[in-house]
Structure 1
Amino acid sequence: MVTAPDCIGTASRPAAPPGAVPWVAMYHSVDTCSSDPYRVTVTPERLEHQLAWLDRHGLRGVTVRELLAARARGEGRNLVALTFDDGYADFLTHALPALRRRRFGATLFVLPGRLGGLNSWDPLGPRKPLLTADGVRAAAAEGVEIGSHGLTHIDLTRADDVTLKSETADSAALLRELTGSPVDGFCYPYGTVDSRVVAAVRDAGYGYACAIDPGALSGPHALPRLHVGQNDTAWRLGLKYRLHRLRRRPVRGV
């Protein structure tokens, strides 16, 4: 069988110096899906290949919390934070077993205002079930870091002050009650963020927050991420990683 060449060889293993762009990979759903207009789904087989690519290059998937702690010590050159947005029920059935086999960690950003519901914010579908409260607790019990994706998956840059506080502070309180653990991380729905939203997230007590492309914003509450999808073969994954490092500015304080 012919395989695509890897872009990063063993001799050129990524070794980001302090202040360089952290590698935070963004996943959503892991399942088989015939229709995926928003590119939020990877098949279990594709995820296995992508995790194997990391493993082959001496890279280890971890939680965002672990990545940031390692970077604060001047370490973590071989760490990649794996994040899964929205809290789809298929995380337990497909993503978690694959992570377990590699002994990788991950951060799961969930919506405590939609537990047991559906991804109704995606008008074109397909409809996907979200984790229940028991499902979130089960993931946390397996060592998965649980973070907030807001309460209901709205564009926070368009929210009024009362709604913004509810989506940030109230979601953290609900998740702390649900899991019995601190909630360090936040993830901006749709990746949309501005300085007002960053301030609300910081005021709510989060230690970090993940965006996609935060533009001029920088720091632990505006972490850029690399979207990983179904089309990302080994060759594409290596290329996207290189472009991510070139196109994203260094993150202040990380």
Structure 2
Amino acid sequence: MSLAVPILMYHSVADDPPEATRTLSVRPSQMGAHLRFLRDHGFTGLTFTDLCERVRAGAALPARPVVLTFDDGYADTHGSALPLLVEHGFPATVFVTTGWLRDAGADSAGRPLDRMMGWSQLRELVDSGIEVAAHSHSHPQLDQLDDKALDTELRHSAALLEDRLSTRVSSLAYPFGYSSRRVRKAVATAGYRQAASVANAVADVGGGDAFAVPRLTVRRTTSPEVFCRIAYGVEVDRVFRTDRALTRGWSVVRWSRSRLRGTRCA
């Protein structure tokens, strides 16, 4: 079964975020407007894993499915996004960088860009019907790691989430959206069933690579007109022309760096 589904990628939801997260943030009022638009136009929300599992099983999908995802695990995902999701009746998937969590303790790793959720807030997300999935442990560029470090990043994140939240973690989102054939193989070997990239394309969930499912970036500058196009998958190539050009250029840089470090990055 092949079906085009918009998978929307959010990060911070805040009126006044720090500079580090501002570009990829949206205001709570924007988030509310997006959810009202989706509800009023008959979209049905699914979690990322639910979508992929339904497609894998050949199960029926709603007439107008949409997936909302949030990366990193910022505190405002709980404080601002969760109440709006509950109000409008939409599930979502939150991809969490476990080493960035506020109370990661001895497992702390990497440098969070803003205030982060803690384990109790993640539990509240799960109890509210939100899927919590993995976004690595320290948020590195996975395609720049050697095999051992890559395996640790993938397994440790899922193990922590499963242990602390008592939930199965079968989905991952690549930090920065970067992956490679080597990384995707490692993700499958680590036990994940699917993974989200960025790519800024509408997902062909039945005909594409389950370990490179594309998402569509929603940011502070996304106008209501552009959001409509993104949700309906109209003129997406034109909307994200600049993003795709930058992605292609940066992929060459990453490949060159990997070669210089001796890391296989096929």
Q: TM-score, normalised by structure 2?
A: 0.77
Alpha-carbon deviations, 1:41-95, whole Å to 9, x = none? 1111000001111112100222112222343314233110100000001111100
CA displacement at 1:231 relative to structure 2: 2.2
Deviations 1:138-171 (A, max 9, x none): 2112111010000000000000111100111121
Decide whether the 8 Å contact of 1:32 with 1:42 is kept in 2: yes
> 1:19 aligns to what SS in structure 2?
coil
- Given that residues 110 and 139 in structure 2 are in contact (C-alpha distance below 8 angstroms), is that contact kept between their aligned partners in structure 1? no
* Matched-pair contact (CA < 8 Å) for 2:99–2:109: no
Matching residue of 1:233 = 223
Q: Which residue of 2 is the match for residue 243 of structure 1?
A: 235
Residues 1:206 and 1:152: Cα distance change in structure 2 (over 3 Å): same
Alignment partner for residue 166 of structure 2, among 180, 195, 203? 180
Which deviations, in whole Å up to 9, do the C-alpha atoms of 1:96-137 show, x marking residues without a partner? 000001110000010112211799757xxxx41111122212
> Any residues of structure 2 matched to 1:45-56 within 5 Å, and which?
45-56=29-40
Q: SS at 2:4's partner residue?
A: coil
Q: Tell me if the contact between 2:133 and 2:172 (Cα under 8 Å) persists in the aligned partners.
A: yes
CA distance in 1, matches of 2:119, 2:153: 18
The amino acid of 2:211's aligned partner reads: H
Taking structure 1 as reference, are residues 19 and 121 closer, same or farther at Cα in structure 2, changes over 3 Å only?
Answer: farther
SS state at 1:84 partner: strand
Give deviations 1:182-207, integer Å, cap 9, x for gaps: 00110000000100110111111111
The CA distance in 1 between the partners of 2:189 and 2:5, in whole Å, is: 23
**CA 1:35–1:174: 2 relative to 1, 3 Å:** closer
Query: How far, CA to CA, are the matches of 1:207 and 1:244 in structure 2?
Result: 27
Partner SS, residue 237 of structure 1: helix
- Aligned pair partner of 2:211 in 204, 208, 221: 221
Matches within 5 A, 1:17-32: 18-32=1-15
C-alpha RMSD of the superposition:
2.6
Larger fraction in helix: 2
Q: How does 1:25-104 map to 2 (within 5 A)?
A: 25-33=8-16, 36=19, 39-71=23-55, 72-104=58-90
User: SS of the counterpart of 1:211?
Assistant: strand
Instruction: Give the TM-score normalised by the residue count of structure 1.
Output: 0.81
Amino acid at match of 2:226: R
1:168 matched to 2:151? The reply is no
After the TM superposition, which residues 7-22 of structure 1 pair with which residues of structure 2 at under 5 Å, given as runs?
18-22=1-5
Which consecutive aligned stretches of 4+ in structure 1 deviate over 4 angstroms post-superposition? 34-38, 117-122
Equivalences, count = 226
Identity of aligned residues (%): 30
Is residue 109–residue 137 contact of structure 2 (8 Å, CA) maintained in 1?
no
Structure 1 residue runs of 5 or longer lacking an equivalent are 1-17, 248-254
What code does the residue aligned with 2:59 have?
R
5+ residue gaps, structure 2, are: 202-206, 241-266
Residue pair 1:89, 1:130 contacting (<8 A) in 2 also: yes
